[in-house]
Amino acid sequence: MEEDQFDIDYNPFKKDVRVLLGIDLDQYKPAQMKRRIRSFILKYKCETLVEFVSRLRSTPNVLLDFKDFLTINVTEFFRNPERFLDLQVNILPSLISEARKQGRPLRIWSAGCSNGSEAYTMAIIMEDSFPGQDYSITATDIDETVMKLASEGDFREIDIKNLSQELLLKHFDKNPEEQRWKIKSRLKRNVKFLRNNLLEDPFTKGFDLILCRNVVIYFTEEAKDVLYKKFFDALTVGGVLFIGGTETILNSKQVGFTRHSNLFYYK
């Protein structure tokens, strides 16, 4: 496929994707996104974007596969375990203390939750390290299909690779025939899954902790600026934004954040 033709077709293609999936590709870094899409359409032996759009419209499985590809549904329990330990030991106690002073539950948001691993990681931390503490976890994603799976709490071996045998036996039931692990229902009671498009939808306010990890890596810098400002406004005073291991908020001071340590930003 000639690059010139790809570039010519790319603007109409973005409009088609917006209609078909509700995803605005203008918010993503164009060079990276074009490279990823060019590789993806070859998987389906399409030579042009026009041909690929036709395939998207006629084949639901291809459309679903492309949606998963764009929304990067990759996550796991306790991703970067040392950072979750830092969160547990150095950050959550003060957030919980402030919530208790105000006589309310701790409010947590897992933004771009994918299969729910991150949200359930937080539930495990709260249940094990802060027993009796009232809390709520809101988990959101643009992909309703993956959120439905997340609400079921059924995981593959690869998803739970960072969990000790003790945690697995305590918080999961194993299906030995399928080599899958289902999270126990008591961990689901404080987790609520909702659809949200981070780039377009309004945010609920009043969160003590927001986790948005490895979600924005393909966004344009302009889109990131808007998103981080929206996260800042959604936090309580003293609240914390927890980002991914390869991410940095370059203009954190301008947004209003104080950097606590690597990956943690205070309002």
Residue with tokens 């002073």: 101
Contacts of 45 (CB under 8 A, 6+ apart): none
User: What integer pLDDT is reported at residue 95 of this predicted model?
Assistant: 98
For the residues 108-121, what does the mean pLDDT come to?
A: 94
User: What integer pLDDT is reported at residue 61 of this predicted model?
Assistant: 87
Are 34 and 10 contacting, i.e. CB atoms less than 8 angstroms apart?
yes
For the residues 193-200, what does the mean pLDDT come to?
A: 92
What is the tens place of the pLDDT at every residue in 63-91? 888 887 887 666 789 888 899 999 999 99
Report d(CA 162, CA 61) in Å as an integer.
31
- Three-class DSSP category at 223: helix
- Three-class DSSP category at 196: coil
| DSSP codes, 131-159 | TT--EEEEEEES-HHHHHHHHHTEEEGGG
Distance spanning both ends of the chain, measured CA to CA: 48
Indicate the residue type of 216: V
Q: Which of 223, 227, 139, 221 is nearest to 183 (CA)?
A: 139
What is the tens place of the pLDDT at every residue in 15-25? 999 888 888 88
Indicate the residue type of 265: Y
Reported as a pLDDT band with limits 50, 70 and 90, residue 260 is: confident
User: What integer pLDDT is reported at residue 28 of this predicted model?
Assistant: 84
H or E stretch at 168: helix 165-171
User: What integer pLDDT is reported at residue 196 of this predicted model?
Assistant: 93
Is the pLDDT score of 243 beyond 80?
A: yes
Is the pLDDT score of 145 beyond 90?
A: no
Report d(CA 107, CA 229) in Å as an integer.
19
Which CATH fold topology does 81-266 show? Rossmann fold (3.40.50)
- Residue ranges of domains in the chain: 3-71, 81-266
User: What integer pLDDT is reported at residue 74 of this predicted model?
Assistant: 61
Are 191 and 223 contacting, i.e. CB atoms less than 8 angstroms apart?
no
pTM equals 0.82
Reported as a pLDDT band with limits 50, 70 and 90, residue 141 is: very high
Contacts of 130 (CB under 8 A, 6+ apart): 92, 96
- Three-class DSSP category at 246: coil
